Copies of this chain bind each other. A is one copy, B any other.
């Protein structure tokens, strides 16, 4: 009569503990002991559920991407079928620090970018999450182009999506490290204005209202 396996939950628990710890101390600073403590588990248990610390990181990136994906799903669904509204929702989802902003996830995301530099697995996971964002955004742009909402040559959809994602990612870095450089509430608006340049929208259409 074996006890039912709880490995899945435990793994998630541990991965979340890593996120929590990593946000404060970075990946290297998040010792396995600290992770275990954050998860309120015995130290040895961590390595029962994970081969190595690096594997925890991979699971954590997975979680991060998944959380983000789900949030994006929700927000895009609320935008209905209008490409412009979807684009706006996409930008706001990332840059409007509102109710649902998550500084921990932000810090982790930047940590992960650093680890991605020197670990192929982490890079794959990180790039995968970015690729997912680009893909979703490109789909929006493509639909908008087809509907003549955006005037964007087919061939440039991917580049445009990458550019907008880059801007968002760059704002993340600034927000986490030099917030004072971003005039409060300007991020989403400025990004929308930049997107307008790419998509051939008249700036006037673009509400340049600050969004906190």
Q: Which residues of A contact B (CB under 8 A)?
A: 24-26, 28-29, 107, 110-111, 113-118, 123, 126-127, 130-131, 134, 156, 158-160, 162-174, 176-178, 180-183, 186-187, 189-191, 193-198, 200-201, 203, 206, 208
Is A181 touching B126 in the complex (CB atoms < 8 A)? no
- With a cutoff of 8 Å between Cβ atoms, the chain B residues found around residue A181 in the complex are 127, 130-131, 134, 162, 165
Cα distance, A190 to B183, chains bound together (Å): 23
Given contacts A165-B174, A170-B168, A173-B173, contact A117 B107 (CB under 8 A): yes
Cα distance, A208 to B189, chains bound together (Å): 23
Is B180 touching A159 in the complex (CB atoms < 8 A)? no
CB distance from A63 to the nearest CB of B (A): 18
Closest to A179 in B: B127
Is A163 touching B194 in the complex (CB atoms < 8 A)? yes
Is B110 touching A160 in the complex (CB atoms < 8 A)? no
Is A26 touching B114 in the complex (CB atoms < 8 A)? yes
8 contacts between A and B (CB under 8 A): A24-B118, A110-B117, A116-B177, A126-B177, A162-B183, A163-B167, A168-B170, A197-B197
Cα distance, A203 to B200, chains bound together (Å): 7
- With a cutoff of 8 Å between Cβ atoms, the chain B residues found around residue A171 in the complex are 163, 166, 170
Cα distance, A181 to B159, chains bound together (Å): 8
CB distance from A92 to the nearest CB of B (A): 15
CB distance from A38 to the nearest CB of B (A): 16
Is B191 touching A163 in the complex (CB atoms < 8 A)? yes
CB distance from A141 to the nearest CB of B (A): 12
Closest to A180 in B: B127
Q: Which 7 A-B pairs have the closest CB atoms?
A: A197-B197, A170-B170, A166-B170, A127-B178, A194-B194, A163-B190, A169-B170
Cα distance, A166 to B130, chains bound together (Å): 16
Cα distance, A114 to B25, chains bound together (Å): 10
CB distance from A100 to the nearest CB of B (A): 21
- With a cutoff of 8 Å between Cβ atoms, the chain B residues found around residue A164 in the complex are 194
